Amino acid sequence: MSELKKFRLVNKIEGISFIILLFIAMPIKYMFGYPLAVKIVGMLHGLLVFAFIYQIFEAKKEAGFSWKETAFYTLLSLVPFGSFYTDKELAKKMTNA
């Protein structure tokens, strides 16, 4: 599997974990007083962030992302649903290559 495909996979999983953390685990914590949800999902999401950071640099080497693209994709990972936009852009890159 190419580094770009691995990055797309990690990007999707990390993005989904971010959505789960924000829209499921945090409401469970604050509305129902169940903080364990955030602890579990937050720890998983944190590990996935490290995987994302590693994989974006591996994909940068292989696919030749510019520093601007790398920074843009990284910033999009901080925005809810931003990873889905990144995936769409990467899919275009892969079909054009």
> pLDDT per position in the chain (97 positions), as tens?
899 999 999 999 999 999 999 999 999 999 999 999 999 999 999 999 999 999 999 999 998 899 999 999 999 999 999 999 999 999 998 888 6
In a domain, 42, yes or no: yes
In a domain, 97, yes or no: no
Host domain of residue 33? 3-92
Greatest CA separation found in the chain? 49
If one counts the domains in the chain, the total is 1
In a domain, 20, yes or no: yes
In a domain, 24, yes or no: yes
In a domain, 17, yes or no: yes
Contact (Cβ atoms closer than 8 angstroms) between residue 59 and residue 3: yes
In a domain, 41, yes or no: yes
